[in-house]
Amino acid sequence: MNQQHQIMGYDRAITMFSPDGRLLQVEYAKKTVKQGSTAIGIKYNEGVILLADKRVLDPLIVPSGIEKISEVDDHIIIAASGIISDARVLVERVRVKSQQHKITYNTNIDVVSVVKEIADLKQLTTQSGGYRPFGVSLLIAGYDIEPKLYETDPTGIYFEYKASVIGEGEEKARPILHKEYKDNMSFEEAVKLGIKALKEVLGDKFSSERIDISYVDKEKKSKFLTEEEKQKYL
């Protein structure tokens, strides 16, 4: 980061652009995501899977009590990297929106509406005084007419992906996804690819207890893999 910009105070206010057109507080928020635990999303022929590193740092912590993948509705799940408390606020907001949509229209909310709700709130905090940006990126997986996978970052930008990764392991995992992802993968192939990428990131620290794997498919009912099911793919 340019030391002169810091001295001149361009990183002290979220609404202040630096002379070269950057919002430094937003860039700091993106660096926070880079320090977060790794999460991977992969589309396959009948759905989308999310894999997340729970990053258990204390042996006294109960791994099952760490939630890095959250359910918004039966057909939408979210994995987060960065400040997880920020993610919790966003997830709770879209859970309410999803239920309001279901009560009003008697149908499931579409995935992109959830994505836009999150992205709009993230963007609002980049242009309003008194706020700080959300220090979290999200992978949003769902199934409406077809499987969908989106990524949002602290700026409020969102893109649809076939496969994506967020968090500290992005630089190691993304080349594997680029090289080995293929259209119309089976569920088994997608799980194995995600595990392979996480193993590359975690190395000797990899274990089945450390990762969560969840998926949503054409049945529009999200499911978590049990410990026994995860062992089959290791």
* 8-34 tens-digit pLDDT: 566 776 677 788 877 788 888 899 999
CATH code assigned to 37-232? 3.60.20.10
CB-neighbour burial class of residue 73 (10 A; exposed 0-12, middle 13-18, buried 19+): buried
pTM passes above 0.75: yes
pLDDT tens-digit series, residues 186-206? 999 999 999 999 999 999 989
How many beta carbons lie within 10 A of that of residue 215, not counting itself? 25
Q: What is the mean pLDDT of residues 38-51?
A: 97
Q: Tell me the pLDDT band of 7, cut-offs 50, 70 and 90.
A: very low
**Spatial separation of the C-alpha atoms in residues 131 and 125, rounded to whole Å:** 6
Taking only the tens place, the pLDDT of each residue in 60-98 is 888 777 888 999 999 999 999 999 999 999 999 999 999
* Confidence band of 149 (pLDDT split at 50, 70, 90): very high
Average pLDDT over all residues of the chain = 90
Residue 219: what are its φ and ψ, rounded to 5°?
Answer: -75, -10
User: Within a 10 A sphere around the Cβ of 15, how many other Cβ atoms?
Assistant: 12
Q: What average pLDDT score do residues 85-114 get?
A: 96
Domain extents in the chain: 37-232
Q: Angle at which helices 84-105 and 111-124 pack, to 10 degrees?
A: 130
